[in-house]
Amino acid sequence: MSSKEYKEQWITCALSDKNGKTSGRPKFKGRHYYNSFSYPQLSNANIVKNANGRCCVNLPKIGLVPFVYNRPIPVGFKVKTGTVIREADGYYISLTIEDKTTPVEVVEIQPTEQNSCMY
């Protein structure tokens, strides 16, 4: 849990709802409750090679963590976030990448009889 979420929970527990009741003190979960945590500010500079020549990701507060670099990041793409996921057979990291050259198309779909579900 980030410090931002921690602060927000303590602020909201002191505020009352529309009936004037407060939600009470936040109850925090243990470390085994969560199966993933994310790093919202990773970049391409965080992926480095260690002294042995193995690919590592430099995670804040943890340090260099070796990982299997099975799919290279294409040229021109930027690493945005990284999520560390705990599964039964170990830990995995999922990197979210972004390409600035790809145009973003906003498609507006107007509901009509032709594209709606009718029973």
Does any domain span residue 69? yes
3 and 53 assigned to the same domain: no
For position 25, what pLDDT does the model report?
Answer: 73
**In this model, does residue 58 exceed pLDDT 80?**
yes
pLDDT tens digits, one per residue of 76-111: 899 999 999 988 888 888 889 988 887 877 778 777
Contacts of 42 (CB under 8 A, 6+ apart): 57, 79, 80, 81, 82, 95
pLDDT the model gives residue 4: 79
| Amino acid (one-letter) located at 97 | I
Same domain, 91 and 59: yes
In the predicted structure, residue 119 carries a pLDDT above the cut 70: no
Give the residue from 61, 29, 36, 64 showing the smallest Cα distance to 50.
64
Question: For residue 6, which of 25, 32, 34 has the smallest C-alpha distance?
Answer: 25
Coil, helix or strand at residue 19: coil
Residue 89: domain span: 35-100
Q: Does 1 score more than 70 pLDDT?
A: no
Tell me: do 27 and 45 sit in the same domain: no
Q: What are phi and psi of 85, to 5 degrees?
A: -115, 130
Do both 4 and 43 map to the same domain? Answer: no
What pLDDT, on the 0 to 100 scale, is given for residue 110?
A: 76
Hey, is 55 helix, strand or coil?
Answer: strand
pLDDT tens digits for 8-51?
877 777 777 777 777 677 777 787 888 998 898 888 888 888 88
Statement to judge: residues 70 and 89 lie in one domain: yes
pLDDT over 70, % of the chain: 95
